[in-house]
Amino acid sequence: MKNKRRPKKVEKSSGSSLKIIAVAAVAVLIFIFWERKPEGLAVKVQAPSAAPKTVAAKVAPLAPRAIEAIPIDTTSSLVVMQKEVDDLRAKESSDMKLGIKKFPLKEVNGRFDVPFQFTPRKIWCQGGDLDTIKHAVTNASDLSVLIALEPQDAGKGAVLRTSVLQLFAGLTHTFSIPVASGLSYALSICSDLKKEGTCRGKTVKTHSQINSELADEKVDRKTPVDYLFYFQHLVLDKSFFYSYRSDNASDGYLNLITEYFQGHTAVGPLDMKKAYKNSKIIRSAPADISGSRILLELPVNDPRCGAGDKKP
């Protein structure tokens, strides 16, 4: 009888057996977990009870960026400003020393309106400018006296025809002249017995000489003589009238005033010399410029002096 060999048993390693057992245990645990679903691990879904509130997001304000300072050279600017101030002060000081006054002009329809006021100024027991005019124009009510504001050489200005009586009472008037610049003007008072309508070309003499001629019986009265009684040189430049002292006839003053107007206006030395010639002879009281008008006062003997009254 043949001996049958038994098959050899295949021995599994203990490590493989342990792995199989572990996998089986894990599977059992997973099955138990899903079957029981522990309450503590259940996922609860809660329905929203109310609409969500809108919460405004707080945004922090942006901090301003620092502006970098740009360095400026103020030295030159301050020097320029100081020079302008110094020049203005020097000009004002020069104006005061020279007796220069400025009168602003307003343009109306291509013309300048120049308000003017004349007032007699009484003096005690002395003959004044108005007394000379009264002797030269025998008819006190006749409109034979002119107050003229006109260019010194040529051109049309403005003329007011008046009388001795009106001068003694005082008057106001507004002259209207064409708009121009760089012109030499004259404010004049003259007699106009010949009805020429201008103060240009009148006889220029001192008041003392005029009175002497009027008192001389040998002088022929048949031919009337027109005299220039008052003369104030005015410079029209841009929108200003300039006046200065008409009672200073020195050569030094003429040089200073000529230099001034050459530097500030378009009026030249020839105009100044011509005006100076009249001013030196007549020596009129300077016209004043105050506020919005030209003011002129001329002296006249106080009538109480001739009546024997005492000086007030």
The pLDDT value recorded for residue 83 is 46
Average pLDDT over the chain, rounded to an integer: 79
- Give the whole-angstrom CA distance, residue 307 versus residue 211: 22
Distances (CA, A) of 53 to 59, 60, 252: 18, 21, 96
Per DSSP, the residues of 20-56 read HHHHHHHHHHHHHHHHH--GGGPPP-----SPPPP-P
The pLDDT value recorded for residue 169 is 96
Cα-to-chain-centroid distance, residue 76: 25
The pLDDT value recorded for residue 52 is 47
The pLDDT value recorded for residue 57 is 47
Residues of the chain with pLDDT under 50: 1-4, 7-13, 34, 38-45, 47-48, 51-52, 54-57, 59, 81, 83-93
The pLDDT value recorded for residue 55 is 46
SS3 annotation, 220-263: CCCCCCCEEEEEEEEEEECCEEEECCCCCCCHHHHHHHHHHHHH
The ranges assigned to domains in the chain are 103-301
Expressed in angstroms, the distance from the first to the final Cα of the chain is: 194
SS3 annotation, 49-74: CCCCCCCCCCCCCCCCCCCCCCCCCH
